[in-house]
Chains A and B, each alone.
Chain A
């Protein structure tokens, strides 16, 4: 287990966090390679289906990041997203998912330093939790 590395699926808004990740890259800021980035037009596009599908297929953590409230490219997408995430996270944790397995952040395209800081936080939280157990689709057990 010592060589286990957490696998994080990240859903980034094209207009902000995706840009921040890009900026961190071109600025040669060092950050861990544990994330698999999925680019979306807006954090409002994130459906709970995506999060469950990621966990189901073996992600140890899911990270959703979009624009700061007020900065949405589509004016109000992230305001709706904020309400959705609130219920989504609470219900997931109500069903037994460990707090920290699914995380959310607002990172603008200029905040490459915040991006590097948050990616480290996300990965370290998930590393402490260990491999995902809930909502993972295992192979059928054969006796």
Chain B
């Protein structure tokens, strides 16, 4: 996807100099290997900073909420679905946006690369379909396809759902993926085994809230974790506090999560926090046939109802 960089710069330059937008939000190379950071360009001369590679896993829809100016935004498939969410939730108007669509082939999971390399990544060079990584103990080459983020492996919405201009032709969507395989596996466990599984999964959490901050859905002025009267949960690393936080974080995303993977990408401890949101997404899909962010014409799953919604669990 390296070839997208030139096209992104070209489009950004065009829309900025024509005055179509006041700012372009894209990615630029981060200061450490395998990291990209958001980049806000307000001047046509500054577009040279913009870049795109397989480390652009964070979600730029996070930066458009409540903005007043006109914005050009670089959007992968999942980002575009989050933009749809924001339009539905009145966080931005469609007319304010010029969406630069990325046909995405998946983002690289830096935690997986780090684990495969067995140490800190000192340098990384991306080629068309491979990644050459240098670590303390030597160099290794990985295929990009093998190192994709979990959500990208099973993604079925690689092309943006709303777009003003594409940087390249659409990529083929993946067929017959099985995104909820691991959720089904957990469902088959007994309550004690499930408790043990999630205690183990979430125990490394340091409560940094990076998952919350990286998520474009989390925009409450006061997050429930910061509320003190009443205080819903403690701030410690006590397992009950950690589990309560992750439960509520995931639940607040129910019917809205687009599986962009920004939460897992941001987690410094490499926790698979999507195990919870995935369960909710699976339920939304199986119970109400709902997938978030595909159209601006439908209300989210929890903001609509049917008279005959399932209720066999209610006495």
A binds B: yes
Evaluate contact between B315 and A91: CB separation under 8 angstroms.
no
* Given known A-B contacts A82-B311, A86-B309, A95 and B243 have beta carbons under 8 A apart: yes
Mark out the residues of chain B between 171 and 224 whose CB falls within 8 Å of any chain A CB in the assembled complex. 183, 186-187, 191-198, 224
Among listed A6-14, A20-28, A130-138, interface-contacting one: A130-138
Evaluate contact between B280 and A56: CB separation under 8 angstroms.
no
Evaluate contact between A96 and B233: CB separation under 8 angstroms.
no
Q: Is A140 an interface residue (CB 8 A)?
A: yes
Q: B186, B287, B311, B313: which contacts A69 (Cβ < 8 A)?
A: B311
Hey, which chain A residues are within 8 Å of B251, CB to CB? 48, 87-88, 91
Q: How far is the CB of A64 from chain B (nearest CB, A)?
A: 9
Evaluate contact between B191 and A97: CB separation under 8 angstroms.
yes
Evaluate contact between A106 and B234: CB separation under 8 angstroms.
no
Hey, which chain B residues are within 8 Å of A136, CB to CB? 240
Q: A53, A95, A103, A121: which contacts B195 (Cβ < 8 A)?
A: A95
Evaluate contact between A106 and B232: CB separation under 8 angstroms.
no
Q: Is B85 an interface residue (CB 8 A)?
A: no
Evaluate contact between B248 and A52: CB separation under 8 angstroms.
yes
Among listed B56-64, B136-144, B300-308, interface-contacting one: B300-308
Hey, which chain B residues are within 8 Å of A97, CB to CB? 191
How long is the Cα–Cα vector from A87 to B238 in the complex, in angstroms?
A: 25
Evaluate contact between B238 and A49: CB separation under 8 angstroms.
no
Number of chain B residues whose Cβ lies closer than 8 Å to a Cβ of chain A? 45
* Given known A-B contacts A94-B186, A138-B240, A83 and B195 have beta carbons under 8 A apart: no
How long is the Cα–Cα vector from A89 to B56 in the complex, in angstroms?
A: 35
How long is the Cα–Cα vector from A49 to B313 in the complex, in angstroms?
A: 20
How long is the Cα–Cα vector from A87 to B307 in the complex, in angstroms?
A: 17
Q: Is B3 an interface residue (CB 8 A)?
A: no
Evaluate contact between B243 and A135: CB separation under 8 angstroms.
yes
Q: B197, B247, B302: which contacts A91 (Cβ < 8 A)?
A: B247
Q: Is B230 an interface residue (CB 8 A)?
A: yes
**Main DSSP-derived SS at the B contact region:** helix
Hey, which chain B residues are within 8 Å of A133, CB to CB? 195
Q: B192, B193, B233: which contacts A56 (Cβ < 8 A)?
A: B233
Q: Counting chain B CB atoms within 10 Å of each CB, which of A89, A133, A134, A140 scores highest?
A: A134
Mark out the residues of chain B between 278 and 315 whose CB falls within 8 Å of any chain A CB in the assembled complex. 279-280, 283-284, 287-288, 301-303, 305, 307, 309-311, 313-315
Q: Is A35 an interface residue (CB 8 A)?
A: no
Q: Is A118 an interface residue (CB 8 A)?
A: yes
Q: A56, A76, A91, A118: which contacts B305 (Cβ < 8 A)?
A: A76
Hey, which chain B residues are within 8 Å of A105, CB to CB? 314-315
Q: Is B22 an interface residue (CB 8 A)?
A: no
Mark out the residues of chain A between 116 and 138 whose CB falls within 8 Å of any chain B CB in the assembled complex. 118, 121, 133-138
Q: Is A104 an interface residue (CB 8 A)?
A: yes
CB-based closest 6 A-B pairs: A96-B195, A96-B194, A105-B315, A79-B305, A104-B314, A98-B191
Other than A49-B224, A137-B238, give 8 A-B pairs with Cβ distance below 8 A: A80-B303, A86-B283, A86-B313, A92-B247, A93-B191, A95-B247, A135-B243, A135-B244
